[in-house]
Amino acid sequence: MTEFRMPSLGADMDAGTLIEWTVAPGAHVKRGDIVAVVETQKGAIEIEVFEAGVFERPLVEIGTKVPVGLPIAVIAPAGEAAATPSAPVVASPVEVAAAAAVATTPSAVTETVFVPELAEEPPPAPPAAPVAAAVMSAPPAISTPMEGRPRVTPAARRLAETAGVDLVGLVGTGPVGEIVVADVEARIAAKPAAKPAPVPTPPPAPAAGRGIDPAAMRAAIAAAMARSKREIPHYYLTDTVDLTRAEGFVGERNAGREPADRLLLGTLFVKAVARAVKKYPEFNGHLVDGVFAASKAVHVGVAVNIRGTGLVAPAIHDTEHLGLDELMAAMRDLVVRVRAGRFRSSELADPTITVSSLGERGAEALWGVIYPPQVAIVGFGTPMVRPWAVDGMVGPRKTVVVTLAGDHRVSDGHRGALFLHTIVTLLQEPEAL
């Protein structure tokens, strides 16, 4: 039997609040299956398992804020007979007390972490001191509200917090008995004179992305970027790409295609970076504790703007192996899910290099801030028609300014320039991408 731990959620998040188990005890799971959903500053994240097995039982309750690296469930590896539900792991008195405190003070739940702060970059490996996380006394049934702690959707929880409504005793009417927004609204309506909402902070502005608090996301971005500027000695390079061929290629390819099958120029940018970085491995990987590990796989993080909220850059896995149509489909799918405020844990933890593109309406150039623990970010400005010299003649051409921000601890401007120029060159032969 294996303890399944809260996976890394990216550099800027050290914990997530468990809001849903998506499998029931006894369910068979395979690598990549989603077993739980946690709420973070970047929205709801689906937690995937890394190996096949049988989901035996959860170790933490819904509503618990769990630091990265702590066990959240027991999963028996495939082949190993699922043990009969055993007695819960005995937690130390201190932890039991802490857990009890968590269980009896609902208002404190979302802010209560039951172990001391972890290091900024907790490894996915177990923390040195085993911390028992057996918060529950029995495996909960997936479809029934847990004793003492009703299942609550994130939106309903937020509404309740904002309105100062107590959830205790509220009966949920959601599909599996969870408390939904309508239930909270009903209670608010029933108790117009309920205690005034404690409003230490202004109520969050309604976010376009469901379940994302713009202020929290801004704080997460600020933390990651401040760390980047503090720790990473950035250097910057710039080049310009003549887009005549790339645009022509995309236009020809899209002619006669249904809108659903069309490519965007940005797909070519991402693919060119993925191809180029294979030749320059010092820009593709993670630097952790002063040691850079180049990644064999290329998982390009694609920066996605969430309306009125912020920016995230989840990974497109194995970008260099995807054809342009597959890559386009993957990017479309990612954008839809990110804007809906729901993506997967591996997408946040895995990017090995980031591409940020301003698109059609923006500024001339984008100088990126490296997203730790990555060591490079490639920025594309807005394509514009500029005077351009070809064969001794100056004429108008559509061009785009491409930039590289690199980490001097790993690489320098000489290699950076070669890497950047490779991107420029690849975009001159779009049909070969």
Q: Find the part of the chain contacting other proteins (CB under 8 A) among 22-30, 257-265, 270-278, 312-320.
A: 257-265
Is the Cβ of residue 36 or residue 207 nearer to other proteins in the bound state?
207
Q: Is residue 340 part of the contact set for other proteins (CB under 8 A)? A: no
Name the amino acid, one letter, at 431: E
C-alpha to C-alpha distance for 315 and 124, rounded to whole angstroms: 18
Plot region of 215 (φ>0 → left; ψ -120 to 50 → alpha; else → beta):
alpha
Q: Is residue 314 part of the contact set for other proteins (CB under 8 A)? A: no
Query: Of these, 255, 291, 394, 432, which contacts other proteins (CB under 8 A)?
Result: 255
* Angstrom distances, CA of residue 323 to CA of 19, 92, 189, 283: 36, 53, 54, 22
Query: Of these, 31, 332, 408, 409, which contacts other proteins (CB under 8 A)?
Result: 332
What's the min distance (Å) between Cβ of 250 and other proteins?
9
Query: Of these, 87, 168, 361, 396, which contacts other proteins (CB under 8 A)?
Result: 361
Plot region of 324 (φ>0 → left; ψ -120 to 50 → alpha; else → beta):
alpha
Query: Of these, 110, 112, 162, 305, which contacts other proteins (CB under 8 A)?
Result: 305
What's the min distance (Å) between Cβ of 178 and other proteins?
24
Is the Cβ of residue 279 or residue 307 nearer to other proteins in the bound state?
307
Q: Find the part of the chain contacting other proteins (CB under 8 A) among 54-62, 124-132, 302-310, 368-376.
A: 302-310
Binding characters for other proteins, 191-210, by CB under 8 A (x = yes): ---------------x-x--
What's the min distance (Å) between Cβ of 395 and other proteins?
23
Query: Of these, 113, 225, 264, 365, which contacts other proteins (CB under 8 A)?
Result: 264
Q: Find the part of the chain contacting other proteins (CB under 8 A) among 141-149, 150-158, 327-335, 393-401.
A: 327-335
Is the Cβ of residue 262 or residue 415 nearer to other proteins in the bound state?
262
Structure-token pair, residue 122:
């907790």
Binding characters for other proteins, 4-43, by CB under 8 A (x = yes): ----------------------------------------
Question: Is 63 exposed, middle or buried (CB count within 10 Å of its CB: 0-12, 13-18, 19+)?
Answer: buried
Given a contact cutoff of 8 angstroms between Cβ atoms, the answer to whether 243 and 423 are in contact is: no
Interface residue list for other proteins (CB under 8 A): 206, 208, 251, 254-256, 258-260, 262, 264-266, 305, 307-308, 331-332, 335-336, 359-361
